[in-house]
Amino acid sequence: MTTLANAPRLDRKAWGVLALTLVFWVADGYDTFVLLITARPTLTELLPHDQLPHLTTYQGYLVAITLAGWATGGIVGGVVGDRLGRRRTMIAAVAVYSVFTACSALSGNWWVFGLTRFLTGLGIGAEWGVGTSLLQEVWPEKWRAKGAGLLQSGFSVGGVLVSGLWVLLGSTLGLSWRWMYLFGVLPLIVVLLVRRSIPESQRWAAQRRDRVGVGQLLAPGVRRNFLGALAVSIAITGGWWAVSSFLPSFVGSLVDDPRRTAFYTGWAGALYNLGEIAGCILLGFLAESWGRKLSIQVYFVGCMAIVPIVFLAVHDAATATWLQLIAGFLTGGVYSWYTVHTPELFTTSIRATAISVVFSGSRYLAMAGAVLIGPLASAVGGFGNAAAIFTPIYLLGVLAVLFLPETKGKPLPA
pLDDT in tens, 213-260: 677 888 888 899 999 999 999 999 888 877 777 777 788 778 877 777
Going by C-beta distance under 8 Å and a sequence separation of 6 or more, which residues neighbour residue 284? Answer: 145, 146, 147, 148, 149, 150, 152, 336, 340
User: For residue 278, is it within any domain?
Assistant: yes
pLDDT at 182 over 60: yes
Q: Rounded to 5 degrees, what angle do the CA atoms 280, 7, 203 make? A: 80
Q: Could you tell me if residue 158 is inside a domain?
A: yes
pLDDT at residue 2, rounded to an integer: 46
Q: What is the pTM of this model?
A: 0.79
CATH number for the domain harbouring residue 266: 1.20.1250.20
Q: Is the dihedral of CA 175, 176, 181, 186 positive or negative?
A: negative
Contact 194, 20 (CB under 8 A): yes
- pLDDT digits 0-9 by tens, 65-113: 988 998 899 888 888 888 888 889 999 999 999 999 999 999 999 999 9
Helices of type H across 12-85: 12-46, 55-84
Residue 151 lies in a domain: yes
The answer to whether residue 119 is domain-embedded is yes
Distance, in Å, from the CA atom of 214 to the CA atom of 256, rounded to the nearest integer, reads 50
Q: Which domain holds residue 216?
A: 12-403
Cα–Cα dist 171/243, whole Å: 25
- Give the angle 76-77-79 at the CA atoms, nearest 5°: 70
For residue 256, how many other CB atoms are within 10 A of its CB? 8
Q: Is residue 2 part of a domain?
A: no
**Domain for residue 1, yes or no?**
no
Report if residue 413 sits inside a domain. Answer: no
Please check whether residue 105 lies inside any domain of the structure.
Answer: yes
74/28 Cα distance (integer angstroms): 13
In 3-state terms the chain splits into helix, strand, coil percentages (rounded to 5) of 85, 0, 15
Least confident of 120-129, 308-317, 362-371: 362-371
Other beta carbons less than 10 A from residue 94's beta carbon: 25
**How many structural domains is the chain composed of?**
1
Nearest to 347 by CA among 136, 75, 74: 136
